[in-house]
């Protein structure tokens, strides 16, 4: 058994050279919202969900991005309603949110 049922990593990387980066898409606000929602829903903690900050996940062209483990499901998102849907559908109900999946070929 895994320590966490789901572990979510949000790329919060910022680049000062003007290259694409998740921080340019307000990834911090999405991370904050997800962390707060997971806690409010009673999903946080051992046996549940852990939401973490990450540096560059090397999928910048699809940013902002988050990845859910242990499944290795990569998401892109636009706003907090997308985060709400990921929490409700994936983290609570175990259903991948197909419309928010990051295409497999999207890299840096």
Determine the pLDDT at residue 18. Answer: 78
- Tell me the mean pLDDT in the region 27-50: 97
- What is the reported pTM? 0.94
User: What is the residue extent of each domain of the chain?
Assistant: 6-64+77-100
- The CATH code of the domain at 6-64+77-100 is 3.40.30.10
Percentage of residues in the chain with pLDDT exceeding 90? Answer: 89
Distances (CA, A) of 58 to 11, 34, 87, 107: 9, 21, 23, 6
DSSP state of 34: H
- What are the φ and ψ backbone dihedral angles of 53, each rounded to 5 degrees? -80, 150
């Amino acid at each position: 058994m895994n320590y966490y049922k789901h572990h979510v990593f949000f790329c919060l990387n910022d680049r000062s050279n003007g290259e694409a980066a998740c921080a340019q898409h307000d990834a911090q606000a999405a991370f904050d919202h997800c962390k707060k929602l997971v806690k409010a829903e009673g999903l946080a903690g051992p046996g549940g969900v852990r939401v973490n900050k990450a540096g560059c996940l090397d999928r910048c062209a699809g940013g902002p991005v988050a990845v859910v483990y242990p499944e290795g499901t990569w998401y892109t998102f636009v706003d907090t309603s997308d985060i709400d849907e990921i929490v409700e559908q994936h983290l609570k109900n175990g259903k991948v949110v197909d419309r928010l999946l990051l295409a497999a070929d999207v890299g840096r």
